[in-house]
A and B are shown apart, each in its own frame.
Chain A
Amino acid sequence: MKILILNSSNEPIYQQIVHQLKEGILKGRLAAGSALPSIRGLARELHISVITTKRAYEELEKEGFIETVPGKGSFVAVQNRELLRKKGLAIVEEKLAEAVSAGKSLDISCEELSKMLHQLYKEV
C-alpha cells in the first residue's frame, strides 16, 4: 500500500489519505478484510498529527469502506460488487462534473465537450 502526502496541496491532508485509501479499495489493491495500520502508527509513519489520521479513518468508516474493531484495529470492509460499482460511479460523476464546470467557465458548449469526451475515450 502506498500513501503519499503532498503538503503544498490545497486538499487537506486527511482527505488525501481518504482518497488514496478509497482508490486502493475500489481498485482492489486493498482486499476486503485486510488490516490497515493503526491510527497512531499511520500518524507516526507519515509524520502527521494523530487527529488527522483519526479523521481520515472516521470518514472512511462513515462511508463504509473500512471497519474498526475496538482493541483489534481497522480493516477493509467486506462489500458487495454492486455497492463498489455504485461508489465508483459516484467518483466518476464527481470528476465529470469538475470537467463540465471547467468547460462552462470557458464557454465550451455541451456538444464540444461531448466531442472531447468521445475522443478521449478512444485515446486513454
Chain B
Amino acid sequence: MENILEVKKLRKSFKNFALDDISFTLPKGYIMGFIGPNGAGKSTTIKLIMNLLKKESGHINIFGMDHIRHEREIKNRIGFVYDENHFYEELTLREMKCIIAPFYKSWCDKLFDKYMKIFKLPANKKIKELSKGMKMKYSLAVALSHDPELLIMDEPTSGLDPIVRSELLDILSDLIQDENKSVFFSTHITSDLDKVADYVTFIHDGSIILSATKDDILDNYGIVKGGTDLLNDHTQKAFIGIRKNIFGFEGLVDDRVKARNLFKDNIIIDKPNLEDIMLYTVRGNQYAQSNH
C-alpha cells in the first residue's frame, strides 16, 4: 500500500515539552484521526508536518517526498484547515477567496462554487458575520477548492455542535469516495472517530501510544470487570489502566482473548470505545497509584 504521509522519529523540544521521536504512517485513500488530550502534542505535530515549526530531527515524507525540499509542490496538493479563524473578518467570503486563490496553481473556481453551494455558505456575507460552524465550513471550502489529495485539519470539530460535526464527517466520507484522497485530522472528541476513521493514532505526553486501524483497536481492547480478589501483582500487569471501587474493579486490556484465558469465567468483558482507551491510558497510572 502506498503511503501518503510518513512521519519517522520526529523530534522537537520546548522548555517544558518534547515530541519524542514519534512515528506513524497513513496509507493512501484513508482517514486517520489523531487523538490525544490537550497539550499532548497534536498541534505541534501538525505544525511540523506543515513546516510552520522547524523540526529538530526525524523525517516527514508527503506523497513520498521530503516535506521541506519539495514544500512548494507538496503544499499545492494539500488542503489545510487551521483550528482558528485565520481570515480577514471584514471581508466577504468571495473577497477573501480572491486573495487566497492565486496562491494555488490548481485553484478551481467551479469547485469553490460547488462547495459554497453544498455547505450553504453566503458568498456576500462578511466573515465576521458567520457562525462558528459556518466558518469551519468556509475554511473547508477554501481548503478543498484546489482539489487536494491530502486534507490536513487541526481540531476542525472543536467547539462545534453535534449536527455540524456529523455534517463534517459526512463530507470526509464523501471525499474519500475517491480512493486517491486521504484525510488526516486531530481531535480530542473521540466519538468523531468511532464512525468514519480508518486509522487512529493516539498521542500522549509527546509519545505515540498506539497507531493502528480503528477496527483492530476496537476488536482487541476490552474493559474487564471483576471482583478485586482476582487482582494480585501478577494479574495486575495485564492492565493498561485499572480502577477499583468497593464492589470490584474495571480495567483496560489490549488483548481480550488473553484476559479471558487469564481470568476464565470470573470476569465480564465490555467493548470499549476510543474515549475509554484514551481515559484509561492517560489516567491509568494515577488510578494505580491512588490505590496502592
* B149 touches A (CB below 8 Å): no
Task: Name the A residues within 8 Å of B197 (CB-CB).
Answer: 49
Task: Name the B residues within 8 Å of A48 (CB-CB).
Answer: 195-196
* B154 touches A (CB below 8 Å): no
A12 touches B177 (CB 8 A): no
* B173 touches A (CB below 8 Å): yes
A47 touches B215 (CB 8 A): no
* A110 touches B (CB below 8 Å): no
CA A60 to CA B222, docked complex, whole Å: 27
Chain B's closest residue to A50 (CB) is: B198
* B179 touches A (CB below 8 Å): yes
Chain B residue total in the interface (Cβ 8 A): 21
Task: Name the B residues within 8 Å of A55 (CB-CB).
Answer: 215
List A29-88 residues whose CB lies under 8 Å from chain B: 40-41, 43-44, 47-52, 55
Task: Name the A residues within 8 Å of B173 (CB-CB).
Answer: 43-44, 47
* B174 touches A (CB below 8 Å): yes
B174 touches A44 (CB 8 A): yes
Task: Name the B residues within 8 Å of A52 (CB-CB).
Answer: 215
Task: Name the A residues within 8 Å of B29 (CB-CB).
Answer: 50
Chain A's closest residue to B30 (CB) is: A50
Which of B173, B218, B219, B271 gathers the greatest number of chain A CB atoms within 10 Å?
A: B173
Chain B's closest residue to A9 (CB) is: B271
List B175-231 residues whose CB lies under 8 Å from chain A: 176-177, 179, 195-199, 213-215, 218-219
B177 touches A44 (CB 8 A): yes
B177 touches A51 (CB 8 A): no
CA A8 to CA B88, docked complex, whole Å: 46
Given known pairs A12-B219, A44-B173, A44-B177, the reply for A51 and B30 (CB within 8 Å) is yes
Task: Name the B residues within 8 Å of A8 (CB-CB).
Answer: 271
B144-170 CB mask vs A (1 if < 8 Å, else 0) is 000000000000000000000000011
A49 touches B177 (CB 8 A): no
Chain A's closest residue to B193 (CB) is: A49
Task: Name the B residues within 8 Å of A44 (CB-CB).
Answer: 170, 173-174, 177
* A10 touches B (CB below 8 Å): yes
CA A105 to CA B170, docked complex, whole Å: 46
Which of A13, A41, A44 gathers the greatest number of chain B CB atoms within 10 Å?
A: A44
Q: Nearest chain B CB to A13's CB is how many angstroms away?
A: 8
Chain A's closest residue to B218 (CB) is: A12
CA A10 to CA B269, docked complex, whole Å: 10
CA A54 to CA B249, docked complex, whole Å: 37
Q: Nearest chain A CB to B111's CB is how many angstroms away?
A: 20
A40 touches B177 (CB 8 A): yes
Task: Name the B residues within 8 Å of A47 (CB-CB).
Answer: 169, 173, 195-196
Task: Name the B residues within 8 Å of A10 (CB-CB).
Answer: 271
Task: Name the A residues within 8 Å of B177 (CB-CB).
Answer: 40-41, 44
CA A39 to CA B218, docked complex, whole Å: 20
Q: Nearest chain B CB to A72's CB is how many angstroms away?
A: 15
Task: Name the A residues within 8 Å of B199 (CB-CB).
Answer: 51
List B47-93 residues whose CB lies under 8 Å from chain A: none
Which of A44, A49, A55 gathers the greatest number of chain B CB atoms within 10 Å?
A: A49
Not counting A12-B215, A49-B213, A51-B214, a sample of 16 additional A-B residue pairs whose C-beta atoms are within 8 angstroms of each other reads A8-B271, A10-B271, A12-B219, A40-B177, A40-B179, A44-B170, A44-B174, A47-B169, A48-B196, A49-B195, A49-B197, A50-B29, A51-B199, A51-B213, A52-B215, A55-B215
**5 A–B contacts from the bound complex (CB under 8 Å):** A44-B174, A47-B169, A48-B195, A51-B198, A51-B215
